């Protein structure tokens, strides 16, 4: 059995430990770990252990179910599907998929998943969510009828890669760069980058984007945050800047790892905001990934934006028009 653990950052709703709150805080659940990436070869078995803890105030009925998910293609946020087509995962007794169990306030349960892949299994990457639906119940185990019943759910994401290869065979490409053709000299230059993974498994973004002015001088540089992009999925690249992120309503990504940048500094908008812009601006995007050859590869795209004092030209044009129009108005 082989297991590959990648840096996994898909988005707040995908990897953040989910806590379900009610006004009475009857339900307050956490799952650890909130995400796992598992590589397994056909014909192999492996297991994965997680813990679920309830720190709320009421007894809960918990029902586990397995569903697939796909990402939204931009932010990495998951979209849960109805059911799952992956048939090789089950819970180890005493827990079963679809069967409920009880969590009392303060309970912490350990749950083991077993993955048993047959030799002729379909190859590919299977993003799954083990979804725990929770409902408050009364002390006699009957459903509450007081009108204050609370229900909710949380999930742990398990991305299973069934492959005969043990190395990283993700392959990222720059799909599109969204940028203006012209920008006002008194404004700012802002652009976003959409990357796509055309490889066989999830992989992390790596690389940088730079901006050069008309003199060829590099005036801004952005290092990509190592967000993970699933196979056959796209997402916008992000960067971390403490001085800029809090101004831009960034996409959050919460982590207990202190090495992960503060979530308020992460944004998918690359911004250069000097006092004055002028002339052609060159944006160079270098995206690095481990390709199917196993060697580092770079996908480089260069795009241009022209900075002009558009607002000044407009104001000057209006002023000139008024000057020319005044003599005509006086004769009328």
Is the residue at 260 inside a domain?
Answer: yes
Shared domain for 125 and 199, answered yes or no, is no
Report, as an integer, the average pLDDT of 32-55. Answer: 94
Is the residue at 325 inside a domain?
Answer: no
Shared domain for 122 and 191, answered yes or no, is no
What is the pLDDT, as a whole number, of residue 47? 96
pTM over 0.85: no
Report, as an integer, the average pLDDT of 8-12. Answer: 37
Domain boundary among 162, 195, 214: 162
What is the rounded average pLDDT for all residues in the chain?
A: 81
Shared domain for 155 and 189, answered yes or no, is no
The region, left, alpha or beta by phi > 0 then psi within -120 to 50, assigned to residue 323 is alpha
**pLDDT greater than 50 at residue 103:** yes
What is the pLDDT, as a whole number, of residue 140? 52
Binned at pLDDT 50, 70 and 90, residue 263 comes out as low
CA atoms within 13 A of residue 206's CA, in its CB half-sphere: 13
Domain boundary among 162, 189, 214: 162
Residue 295 structural domain? 172-314
Between residues 73 and 12, the one the model is more confident about: 73
Is the residue at 7 inside a domain?
Answer: no
Q: In what order do the strands lie in the sheet with 45-54?
A: 29-32, 45-54, 108-116, 89-91
What is the pLDDT, as a whole number, of residue 106? 92
Shared domain for 182 and 157, answered yes or no, is no
Shared domain for 123 and 237, answered yes or no, is no
Query: For the domain that residue 289 is a member of, what is the CATH number?
Result: 2.60.40.10
pLDDT in tens, 137-150: 865 544 444 445 66
* Domain count of the fold of the chain: 2
Shared domain for 56 and 184, answered yes or no, is no
pLDDT in tens, 121-173: 999 999 999 999 998 886 554 444 444 566 788 899 999 999 987 767 888 99
Shared domain for 141 and 237, answered yes or no, is no
**pLDDT greater than 60 at residue 12:** no
What is the pLDDT, as a whole number, of residue 216? 94
Is the residue at 115 inside a domain?
Answer: yes
Task: For residue 301, report the phi and psi dihedrals to the nearest 5 degrees.
Answer: -130, 135
Domain boundary among 162, 181, 198: 162
pLDDT in tens, 203-238: 889 999 999 999 999 999 999 999 999 999 999 999
- CA nearest to 235, candidates 261, 209, 204, 262: 204
- CA separation for the pair 195, 238 (Å, rounded): 10
């Amino acid at each position: 059995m082989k297991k590959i653990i990648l840096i996994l950052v898909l988005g707040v709703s995908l990897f953040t430990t989910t806590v379900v709150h009610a006004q009475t805080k009857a339900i307050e659940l956490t799952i650890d770990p909130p995400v796992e990436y598992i590589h397994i070869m056909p014909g192999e078995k492996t297991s994965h252990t997680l813990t679920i803890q309830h720190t709320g105030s009421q007894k809960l009925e918990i029902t586990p179910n397995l569903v697939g998910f796909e990402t939204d293609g931009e932010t990495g946020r998951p979209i849960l599907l109805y059911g799952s087509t992956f048939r090789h995962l089950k819970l180890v007794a005493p827990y079963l998929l679809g069967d409920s169990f009880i969590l009392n306030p303060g309970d912490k349960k350990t749950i083991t998943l077993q993955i048993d892949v047959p030799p002729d299994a379909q190859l590919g990457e299977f993003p799954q969510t083990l979804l725990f639906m929770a409902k408050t119940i009364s002390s006699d185990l009957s459903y509450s009828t007081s009108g204050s019943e609370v229900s909710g759910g949380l999930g742990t994401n398990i991305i299973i890669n069934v492959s005969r290869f043990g190395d990283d065979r993700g392959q990222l490409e720059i799909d599109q760069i969204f940028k203006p053709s012209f920008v006002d000299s008194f404004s700012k230059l802002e652009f976003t980058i959409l990357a796509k993974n055309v490889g066989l498994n999830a992989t992390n973004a790596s690389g940088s984007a730079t901006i050069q002015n008309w003199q060829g001088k590099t005036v801004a540089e952005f290092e990509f945050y190592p967000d993970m992009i699933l196979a056959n999925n796209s997402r916008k690249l992000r960067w971390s800047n403490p001085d800029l992120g809090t101004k831009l309503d960034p996409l959050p990504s919460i982590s207990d790892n202190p090495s992960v940048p503060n979530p308020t500094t992460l944004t998918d908008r690359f911004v250069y905001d000097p006092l004055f812009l002028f002339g052609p601006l060159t944006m160079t995007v270098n995206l690095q990934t481990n390709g199917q050859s196993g060697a580092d590869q770079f996908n480089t795209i260069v795009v241009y934006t022209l900075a002009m004092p558009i607002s000044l030209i407009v104001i000057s044009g209006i002023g000139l028009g008024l000057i020319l129009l005044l003599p005509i108005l006086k004769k009328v």
